[in-house]
Structure 1
Amino acid sequence: MPMDERTRADVERAEAAIVEHYPRLVRLAYLVLPPSMGRHRKVLTAHGLVQRALPRPGLRRPAGALPAQRGADAGSGYDLVRRRTLELALAYENRQGLAVLLPPVPFVWGLRLFPRAGGADELALDQALSAVPAPVRAALGLWHLEGLDAEVARAVLERAGVADPDAAQRAAGQLDRQTGARAGALLNSGEFDPCTVQARPTDLLRRRQRVRAVAVMAVVLAAGAVALALPGGAKGDRAATAAQQAQDPGRLLRTPNEQWAKTSRVDFTAWPPRGREAGNKELLARALRVWAAPPADARITTTPGTSTRPPAEPPRLLYAGLIDNVMVVVFHDGERLVRYAEPEGATPTLHFARVDNADLTSGAGLVIGRGNGWMRYLIAPWVSDVATRDLLAPDTPPHGLHLAPDGVTDRIATPPEMGGTCGHWPVAEFRSSPRIDDDRSFLVTDLGELAPVHLTYLPPPSAGGAGSGEATGPAALHSWARTACTLRSLRGTGVRSVNSWAYAQQTLPENAGTATWVCNRADTWRGPGRAMVQFQPPAGGPGDPGRITGRAVDTAVCSRFGRHVLSDVHWQAKSGKWYLLAAGSSQVGGIDVTGGVRATAEAPTLAVPAPKEAPAQVAGRLRDGGSLHALRP
């Protein structure tokens, strides 16, 4: 047999490496797989990819051998299966390759498997990992899970098919620094261990309605056999009992009233139950039954990326009471808000919203009631004051809002929807209690979902801005006044927060004043975000809108993991002359224009005469030697 082919002995060494280092390989695969898959699917897929990493006799061995830094525990067989595992996991990032065509094993029906939940640090790292591409997660895993140095990790990434391993390692280093060099310890915790899992049932009642009883029995038995083969699977036989207990109103979790002032986890888990009907077990039982098995005519709404599965264990009760002649119950199960509404004489409704990784601001309120042109908030116990203001009137002071003893606000006007005029944009201004915070204020707005959207602001470099801050100061309010109406395009997309970043200011030709370039970034609860760049010349009024010059979706642009941005626009001076303007963020050291216009600038801004319709390709040169292209509308 030629020496460049895998022999039977090579395959046997690879198999031995998989068996010996199986948990290590599965953890690496789990880290690299896209967070958008969900934890259950990631667990099963990670196991399947590692088991499929075993080569077949006859596969050509790669040129050269990769050095391993774990001594005797990682030989050439391990190098091979690690590379194969990375190749298969990376293929899932863009839904390409053979990895997405074949279902991985094991296959589990009727159970959902989750790694054990970690603390606030693990949750923060998981959210940060969801905002970076797979090669960056792979680089981080090779450093902290495999113990490789940068040079060896780069070689592994390159042979696994990563197009730009250097860029992946730079981004991984930036993420590592942002975690305070704790990423290694966190990645080795139970939060990221797909070999130690908890088992929970899927939608049991709906399955019974759709599948014959005998078939369901067979599937459950098969799922139980597979689950028991995995660590932690012994809990699967108690899953059905747990599901029944989750529908018992007497087992609902109830946080003590003052717990929010005594915990470092300030989110929905710190909310006490409120509302006059919080002790009405009949109402709570009805709400839990409808959640577990919604009637055929029930109205169910969800934010994108939110599951409607029944409760796997007793949820937390947040509210139960009468809101505008509608009986309302709100639960929180650790990952979701579930709002049950029972109109008199009408079919009940359920609204599901994903709120994992909520914090002091994003967990400060929820929409408890809604009508034609109005809504009400139920606010967190740590919010000491609520006011309303109009984003399109930045110089108008906020108006105080009455708050009921149970935390429900008076009615607030809802922002305009797409297709209509945009003459006002009401927002709520919350002030946190000095018992847990520095008595700060922050803005939230309603985009038609259960969880409001947190608005933040980052000033231009000339103002010395160093990080996202609250959008309550004069500069932030005037900036938001010119971009508020663009929020309408985000309605119903599961947005968690929107940051307005004034990334550049530019002196306009012909003494026309100073323009501001603003990048608005919307981050969703499920991870992916979108960015929009606006050119804002001097305005005649505080609410004059800017001009959209660039957009990007499913991107890290304008986030802490994508700090470089560049855009351009054709602009007409009062003289009637047209110019091509471009501006980049602070790390853009030069701009080059090709095509119908040719120009260059050794600065982060550029202004050159150019016909209105002249095509131009604008690119930026970064100070660290990299490059980027301008965002297009």
Structure 2
Amino acid sequence: MSTSQRRSARVSGRVALDQAEAVIVDQYTRLVRLAYLTLPHTLTRHRRVLVAHALVQRALPGFRIARAGRRVPGQRKGGAPDPALARTRASVLRAALAHDRRPRGWPGFLPPPRTLRPMFPVVWGLRIFPRAGGGDEIALGQVLSEAPAAARAAFVLLQVEGLSRPEVSELLTAAGVPEPQPALDTAAGLEASAGGATQALLTSREFDACSVQTRPTDLLRRRRRFQLAWLSAGIVALCCAVLLTAVGSSPSDQPARTVDVSPAISADRLVHTPRDTWADTSRVDFTAWPARGSRVSDTALITRALATWTDPPRGTRVRVAEATSDEQPPGNTQLLYAGDVGGEAVVLFHDGRRVVRYGEPPSPLDPASLDISRADEADVTTAASLVVSRGEGKVRYLTAPWIAEAQTRDLLDPDSPGRPLDVTDEGVTDAVPELPGKGACDSLPVLQLRSSSKIVEKHAFLVADLGGLTPVHLSYTPLPGTGAPPRQPREATSTAALESWARIACRLPLMRQSGVRAVNQWDFAEQDLPERGGGAVWSCTRASTWRGHGSVLVQFRTSKESATSPAKVVGRARSTAACSRFGQHIVASTPWTAGSGRHYLLAAGSREVTGIDVTGDVKADKKGGTLAVKAPESPEVTVRARLKDGETLDEVGSRP
């Protein structure tokens, strides 16, 4: 029986060469689209287009780069299965999935061995890429870039090719995917995220690698190379000249940095906001920033920055924030800054949705850097500063034109006043220490900025650097007042706010590089502890991201502890609306041990909580917003709150 099963798993019969060629010609666009969307998004769009065409053209029997080893489903639309199409599709899919795999021990700095083979087509002197789509296509492209390659392939096969789930599963298996079910599940999630017009989006020009636009490479550079080839006396003399130049030249003698591609938008088409716009506008955000810096007229520098953003050259250090598109610059791109900071030439852009930083070291032999972060719906606080330079544990900021004063303060020292921070006429601050990483947490430096009275009076606020281009806005919501309406988040500059933040500040570095936009500390309840154990404050720290999701930490601190000792984390939740204006009710619990050694279960809820029920190892039912009952040392309980409107509320998260 096992022998017959093995035979049934193999392709029955060979596909004739003329049949395979007819399939490739007839289905060429669809096969190229499948390869293009499956290939890794670490490749540039130019490279992905060429590789996609090469993989389809090499799928002809005889190349043997991606032969299917298992039976694959044929096309069942309107007739019998087509084994030639099925085998060709499996061959293309296998090659695309395997393109970025490296054998064990293969050097990381070399491309996969498959890419070292000669592959046609080859394009000289041009950069090619699909035409840009609309906002829906860009959003779908971002979603696809975050999905595994097998899931992208399953998504295209289901939505564009119209295959059934069993057919896609069998095809993925034939293409070398050991477990196709997770890819199918992820593809179903992509379909739910994309909405109802998925097929129309996938067949749009944004993902059509057969309908492309072209840009020339650097024409002047090509001409110089041609002249150098003719003027060279021989390879030995050329090598000697290069060695002598590398050993004996100064930085000023090194060749000028050039770019290989033409930018998607020219430097002279960039938006330049007038200098005084910020003082007379109702939209106080990045759109009100004027172009500043000593090199705003340096067209060559700005062109290199735009070209790197359009298609980063090999070796460029590219950092794209979470849930951020890396698409090329659109036509409404705005110049924010161009100048020299911290030994680098720096250019900052804003395109309405993102901020982009280009950094260029003085030596053309050192790689440039490109950072892209989301900045949609920024406001007077989240658009108040940008990181313009980072290195050696220090960071410099470019402040908004409406910032009248800048200070630094230590979150772990709430009683100390802010220290003045020097800012140049261009808005660049002195270097400030970065937040500490893992390990000791002895100091938490943050910026305290004050807006000009031209837009708002006496408005000071705190921002902290968490590794992105846009510093994170820190706010505070105080304890509820008796009979007062719900408190709203406010700036974290009051004594109570700074004291509360001091107890949770050391957890800020854990949020690095996670796309956080703002962090609010909400003290939602206070409680008298049993056996005269002092008082306790319950708080919820919510980190809101640019993409809308948020995570919360529920914390518990007592008056007997040090004013800067970290609060105890009693619950956590991710991708939740809790502790926001869309999740204004909360209840939490924690075990606690009194000075006598007795163990208690404590619970507390926000202002709308009228009673708390406990079941499990402890059974209790108490009216009011707090509860304290004797309990085992580590009880297993379920805590639920009753609200004023009669609804019930489950405990947020779980104890870590």
TM-score bucket of the superposed structures, by smaller chain: 0.5 to 0.7
Structure 2: how far apart are the matches of 1:403 and 1:39? Answer: 41
Matching residue of 1:106: 200
Matching residue of 2:308: 290
Matching residue of 1:361: 381
Matching residue of 2:343: 325
Matched, 1:528 2:549: yes
Which blocks of at least 5 consecutive residues in structure 2 are unaligned? 1-133, 142-158, 160-184, 218-260
Structure 1: how far apart are the matches of 2:273 and 2:498? Answer: 36
Matching residue of 1:557: 578
- Equivalent position SS for 2:426: coil
| Larger relative contact order, structure 1 or 2 (CA cutoff 8 Å, min sep 6) | 1
Structure 2: how far apart are the matches of 1:404 and 1:284? Answer: 22
Instruction: Please give the root-mean-square deviation of Cα atoms over the aligned residues, in Å.
Output: 3.1
For 1:341, which of 359, 364, 384 is the aligned residue? 359
Matching residue of 2:403: 383
- Equivalent position SS for 2:303: helix
Structure 1: how far apart are the matches of 2:211 and 2:327? Answer: 7
Q: CA deviation at 1:541?
A: 2.4
Superposed counterparts of 1:1-20, under 5 Å? none
Structure 1 stretch 293-302 or stretch 537-546: which is displaced more? Answer: 537-546
Structure 2: how far apart are the matches of 1:507 and 1:581? Answer: 10
Matching residue of 2:632: 611
Superposed counterparts of 1:477-556, under 5 Å? 477-556=498-577
> Which digits, 9 at most, give the CA deviation of each residue in 1:122-153, with x for residues without a partner?
xxxxxxxxxxxxxxxxxxxxxxxxxxxxxxxx
TM-score using structure 1 length: 0.64
Structure 1: how far apart are the matches of 2:211 and 2:447? Answer: 38
Distance 1:398 1:203, change over 3 A: farther
Q: CA deviation at 1:576?
A: 1.0
Contact residue 611 and residue 624 of structure 2 kept, 8 A:
yes
Letter in 2 for 1:264: S
Structure 1: how far apart are the matches of 2:188 and 2:457? Answer: 43
Q: CA deviation at 1:393?
A: 0.2
- Equivalent position SS for 1:536: strand
Matching residue of 2:478: 459
Specify the structure having the higher radius of gyration (Cα).
Answer: 2
Structure 1 stretch 269-278 or stretch 614-623: which is displaced more? Answer: 614-623
Matching residue of 2:450: 431
Letter in 2 for 1:253: V
> Which digits, 9 at most, give the CA deviation of each residue in 1:566-623, with x for residues without a partner?
1100001111111100001111111111111111111111000111122111111111
Contact residue 620 and residue 628 of structure 1 kept, 8 A:
yes
Contact residue 92 and residue 99 of structure 1 kept, 8 A:
no
Letter in 2 for 1:546: A
Structure 2: how far apart are the matches of 1:551 and 1:575? Answer: 29
Q: CA deviation at 1:93?
A: 13
Matching residue of 1:299: 317
Q: CA deviation at 1:542?
A: 1.8
TM-score using structure 2 length: 0.62
Letter in 1 for 2:581: R
Contact residue 263 and residue 307 of structure 2 kept, 8 A:
no
Matching residue of 2:328: 310
Matching residue of 1:599: 620
Q: CA deviation at 1:42?
A: 7.0
- Equivalent position SS for 2:198: coil
Structure 2: how far apart are the matches of 1:421 and 1:205? Answer: 52
Structure 2: how far apart are the matches of 1:279 and 1:299? Answer: 25
Structure 2: how far apart are the matches of 1:97 and 1:108? Answer: 11
> Which digits, 9 at most, give the CA deviation of each residue in 1:12-53, with x for residues without a partner?
xxxxxxxxxxxxxxxxxxxxxxxxx97437799xxxxxxx9x
Structure 2: how far apart are the matches of 1:334 and 1:458? Answer: 30
For 1:251, which of 269, 277, 284 is the aligned residue? 269
Superposed counterparts of 1:183-222, under 5 Å? none
> Which digits, 9 at most, give the CA deviation of each residue in 1:540-560, with x for residues without a partner?
422111100011100000000
Matched, 1:40 2:58: no
> Which digits, 9 at most, give the CA deviation of each residue in 1:399-449, with x for residues without a partner?
00000111000011111112x111110000000000011221000000011
- Equivalent position SS for 1:461: coil
Contact residue 136 and residue 201 of structure 2 kept, 8 A:
no
Letter in 2 for 1:610: A
Distance 1:101 1:368, change over 3 A: closer
**Aligned pairs, number:** 433
Distance 1:98 1:304, change over 3 A: closer
- Equivalent position SS for 1:583: strand
Distance 1:467 1:207, change over 3 A: farther
Matching residue of 1:409: 429
Superposed counterparts of 1:66-81, under 5 Å? none
Contact residue 370 and residue 376 of structure 1 kept, 8 A:
yes
- Equivalent position SS for 1:509: coil
- Equivalent position SS for 1:506: strand
> Which digits, 9 at most, give the CA deviation of each residue in 1:430-482, with x for residues without a partner?
00000011221000000011110000000001375621100000000000000
Letter in 1 for 2:473: H
Distance 1:100 1:391, change over 3 A: closer
- Equivalent position SS for 1:422: coil
Matching residue of 1:73: none
Which blocks of at least 5 consecutive residues in structure 1 are unaligned? 1-36, 45-51, 53-90, 114-200, 209-242
For 2:469, which of 425, 450, 461 is the aligned residue? 450
> Which digits, 9 at most, give the CA deviation of each residue in 1:298-353, with x for residues without a partner?
11001101111111214100000001110000010110001000012211110000
Structure 2: how far apart are the matches of 1:368 and 1:610? Answer: 54
Contact residue 478 and residue 523 of structure 2 kept, 8 A:
yes
Contact residue 285 and residue 383 of structure 2 kept, 8 A:
yes
- Equivalent position SS for 1:107: helix
Distance 1:372 1:38, change over 3 A: farther
| Percent identity over paired residues | 43
Structure 1: how far apart are the matches of 2:191 and 2:464? Answer: 41
Q: CA deviation at 1:107?
A: 3.5
Q: CA deviation at 1:246?
A: 4.5
Q: CA deviation at 1:297?
A: 1.0
Letter in 2 for 1:280: D
Q: CA deviation at 1:625?
A: 1.4
- Equivalent position SS for 2:595: coil
Contact residue 205 and residue 293 of structure 1 kept, 8 A:
no
Structure 2: how far apart are the matches of 1:544 and 1:206? Answer: 58
Structure 2: how far apart are the matches of 1:375 and 1:563? Answer: 36
Structure 1 stretch 425-434 or stretch 485-494: which is displaced more? Answer: 485-494
> Which digits, 9 at most, give the CA deviation of each residue in 1:378-401, with x for residues without a partner?
000000000000000000000000
Contact residue 430 and residue 442 of structure 1 kept, 8 A:
yes
Contact residue 257 and residue 272 of structure 1 kept, 8 A:
yes
Superposed counterparts of 1:126-205, under 5 Å? none
Matching residue of 2:414: 394
- Equivalent position SS for 1:304: coil
Structure 2: how far apart are the matches of 1:40 and 1:523? Answer: 25
Structure 2: how far apart are the matches of 1:100 and 1:334? Answer: 22
Matching residue of 1:84: none
Contact residue 530 and residue 555 of structure 1 kept, 8 A:
yes
Structure 1: how far apart are the matches of 2:211 and 2:347? Answer: 23
